[in-house]
Structure 1
Amino acid sequence: MSSEATGKPALSVTSGLSRNAIIIRLEGELDVDAVPVLQEHLQRIWDLPPKPFLIVDLSAVTFCDSMGMNELISVMQRCEARGTRLLLGGVHGVMARVLSITGLRHAFEVFARLDDALRLSVAST
């Protein structure tokens, strides 16, 4: 059921901190309607002092359209400007397919499991 029908956002965004990473978890549909929700959450992240890593957990994303991909590209560009390494964790199913189809699979550091992205961020300290 769409977010319009339920009155609830189709995307839930939460975040947390680890030693040298900010972890953002996305759950639901990353589409044109959800981008403002993600952007609002990200603004709070951008206001924090930069960490070496930003990990985006995509394991619970069920749909991603071109606007969602554009936002991920914007996040990558913002991370590069801040000197932060962007890692995409939990990339499988829908997100693996979208990244492959768009040819963006190699533009990002992609991990099938969130734990692998977390391990890399810890090992790089």
Structure 2
Amino acid sequence: MAGIPTDPSADPGRREMLVGTSRTLLRISVDMTAGRPVIALAGELDVATAPAVEAVFFETFDVHRRPHVVVDVARLSFCDCVGLSAFLHVRNRALAGGGWARLCGTGPGLRTVLGITGLMPILHCYPTAADAFADVERSTPDPRGQEHL
């Protein structure tokens, strides 16, 4: 699924695209202004938009030797099981590369779903991207793909 880029000349450290179908729409923003990627999702993360989200993350991982990426989900209005699966794929790919992927801005609804599914301790959640990146120095993945804090 190809995304529609939005104003690429606005900020060289930021990239945005719109993906979706006539029924769902998701805006994906990649902000590299602090030298570390924060990928913000706004809209609906579902079966129609999850492949584009994974593609953006994997492109971001290819640029960084040890990928540390934060997913800002504060403006995510919907996330189905395919969206949760996309978060897991992103996390696993980051761990395989010696890094991690974390969530920030999780609202009560998504936190409830993550708790019910048992994903809360796997998909680490933080209030802000700065809080998530503050853990870079403290977290080290082990060879089995588990993070230790």
TM-score when scaled to structure 2?
0.69
Cα pair 1:89 1:114 within 8 Å, conserved: yes
Question: Which structure 1 residue ranges, 5 or more long, are not aligned?
Answer: none
Partner amino acid for 1:4?
S
The answer to whether structure 1 residue 71 and structure 2 residue 107 are counterparts is: no
If asked which structure has higher relative contact order (CA below 8 Å, sep 6+), I would say 1
Partner amino acid for 2:22?
E
CA–CA distance in 1 between the matches of 2:132 and 2:41? 15
Which residue of structure 2 aligns with residue 16 of structure 1?
31
Which residue of structure 2 aligns with residue 60 of structure 1?
75
Map Cα deviations across residues 72-97 of structure 1 (whole Å, 9 max, x no partner).
00001001001112221111223212
Per the TM alignment, residue 63 of structure 1 is displaced from its structure 2 partner at its CA by 0.7
Question: Which structure 2 residue ranges, 5 or more long, are not aligned?
Answer: 1-19, 139-149
- 1:4 corresponds to which of 22, 25, 29: 22
Instruction: Give the CA RMSD over aligned residues.
Output: 2.2
Of residues 71-80 and 90-99 in structure 1, the stretch that sits farther from structure 2 once superposed is 90-99
Which residue of structure 2 aligns with residue 97 of structure 1?
112
Distance 1:76 1:95, change over 3 A: same
Of residues 67-76 and 92-101 in structure 1, the stretch that sits farther from structure 2 once superposed is 92-101
Percent pairwise identity: 26
Which residue of structure 1 aligns with residue 60 of structure 2?
45
Partner amino acid for 1:86?
A
TM-score when scaled to structure 1?
0.81
Partner amino acid for 1:11?
L
Which residue of structure 2 aligns with residue 84 of structure 1?
99
| Higher helix proportion (structure 1 or 2) | 1
Which residue of structure 2 aligns with residue 113 of structure 1?
128
